[in-house]
Chain A
Amino acid sequence: MLREITLGQYYPVDSVLHRMDPRTKLLGTLLFIISLFCANSWLGYLTAAVFLAITIRLSRVPFRFMVRGLKAILILLLISVSFNLFLTSGEVVWQLGILKITREGIRTAIFMALRLIFLVIGSSVMTLTTTPNELTDGLEKGLGFLNKVGVPVHEVAMMMSIALRFIPILIEEADKIMKAQMARGADFESGNLIQRAKSMVPLLVPLFISAFRRATDLAMAMEARCYHGGEGRTKMKPLCYRKRDRIAQVILTGYLCLIIGTRFIA
């Protein structure tokens, strides 16, 4: 039931992208998004499409997982496309009452749609190839300089990774308790709003108790292993850039130059 909700969307296969340093992937995603806003011609978008296609191939994640994220932005996509389509002024190609479509409108609408779609697929490539924990690690290390201005980067990252770790555990726990109460005839689905809210009590009370129990257990276990915050703490698997990261950085730079270049060709 509940366990079918997977958190994040990490897809476990082995590929160059999976093995890459999370910082490279974060940077890459950022650069890719910037490049989408730089592109302003068919050639620019074609370059981005080719780049994206190659990345998807390299990730070895089935394409249908990439497009799942698109469902969430479908409405946004429709709105932005229709706004651009109908509200751009220029050479009119079709008119009905006050609705008119211009050549420029079609062009911006298509570019806008492509931009959004590429953006979502591009970030999916990152989340599908990086576990949430690697992501927090990457953010912690990548944003480490913020420590200097008093942001507790390590603590925030630690809280994030504990939260991420706990969500599936609590979902599983909720699923178990729900089933146990259903075995005693509990009904979580029918009834009016008040009845339903009341029927959550047998689920929520045990869930809270278990969450608190787990939290104290974890705190105890961390203390027992001498955890004392980020200072001087080393990692079992320290992030380090490898050859493939350097190569990726060079390719990314080349790609960004190429996109900027297309602005001048067209």
Chain B
Amino acid sequence: MSIRAVNLTHIYGQGTAFEQYALKNVNFEIQDGEFIGLIGHTGSGKSTLIQHLNGLLKATSGELYYNGENIYAHGYDMKGLRSKVGLVFQYPEHQLFEADVFSDVCFGPKNLNLSQGEIESRAKEALNLVGLDESFYKQSPFELSGGQKRRVAIAGVLAMKPDVLILDEPTAGLDPKGRDEILGQIEKLHREQGLTIILVSHSMEDMARYADRLIVMNKGEKMFDDTPRNVFRHYKELEAMGLAAPQITYIVQALRKEGIPVEEDLITVEEARDAILRLIGK
């Protein structure tokens, strides 16, 4: 069970004056249950890449296999794919349209032609997963706070019961509390429901904390594909792409420069704290 991209290339506006390569020969394989972080400078092709994974965009060339099946094969069940690979767009609250929260979350399962009972039980379950209780069901989605709206939108995708959940910058424009709540819930979905997660984010701290594996995009090409620890070792190259390592990595580097022998590849605050405590305790 996996997602496999082979030489994925996407050109926007092919044959016009505005032709633009958004993806160039991207290859990777994502296994079930992984937590992938996708990072890259603005315009590096992250959003374009993830829209290929559920077939919303078709590659200009290259192939994409979901569970071993070529999704570009004639007669492939795209709707089935979209229910298995859930995609939460950037600012997903802009897609809300129903008069109340519950109906909006029902939209996805309704499109899958399920029975009314199944639709409702899925919607309830999804809203429960994002931490919205029954008092929200009959509220208008437009009256909620930014973070709540976003959770409704995420529930709208979760109600399709996807195996893979892709989130495009889910914390953009949220306050710190809203951010932590959303990320905490994503982590919980990964841990408890065993969902495969692909998270696009600009926060290296979040990446270091949550992701098992990082894919780094630069100008449409895949630059790195490794564990966060290994990727952040290349912080000089990351900086050249307009990215960075987590703040704590720089602090550790500065300490080492002063001659304090902390270990080199510490990427989260907790790790660094423990390492420093060990040093002092020695």
Contacts and interface: CB of A to CB of B under 8 A. Distances in A.
Q: Do A and B bind each other?
A: yes
A173 B94 CA distance: 9
Interface residues of A, number: 24
B156 interface: yes
A177 B83 CA distance: 17
Interface stretch (B10-18, B130-138, B265-273): B10-18
Given A4-B13, A202-B97, A184 B56 contact: no
Interface in A111-159: none
A205 interface: yes
B200 interface: no
B82 A185 contact: yes
A187 B111 contact: yes
B86 interface: yes
Interface in A161-208: 173, 176-177, 179-187, 201-202, 205-206
A184 B156 contact: yes
Contacts of A206: 94-97
B92 A182 contact: no
Contacts, number: 64
A12 B17 contact: yes
Contact of B89 (A11, A179, A185, A187): A179
A208 to B, nearest CB: 10
A210 B51 CA distance: 22
B94 A183 contact: no
A6 interface: yes
B47 to A, nearest CB: 10
Given A12-B17, A177-B94, A210-B94, A183 B111 contact: no
Contacts of A177: 94-95
B86 A183 contact: yes
Contact of B87 (A183, A187, A201): A183
Given A183-B89, A201-B97, A209-B142, 5 more contacts: A11-B17, A180-B94, A183-B157, A184-B95, A202-B107
Which 8 pairs of residues, A with B, have the shortest CB-CB distance?
A185-B111, A205-B97, A184-B108, A180-B95, A183-B87, A180-B89, A202-B97, A179-B56
27 contacts: A3-B12, A3-B13, A6-B18, A12-B17, A177-B94, A179-B89, A180-B92, A180-B94, A180-B95, A181-B95, A182-B56, A183-B87, A183-B88, A184-B82, A184-B95, A184-B111, A185-B82, A185-B112, A185-B160, A201-B97, A202-B95, A202-B97, A205-B97, A206-B96, A206-B97, A209-B94, A210-B94
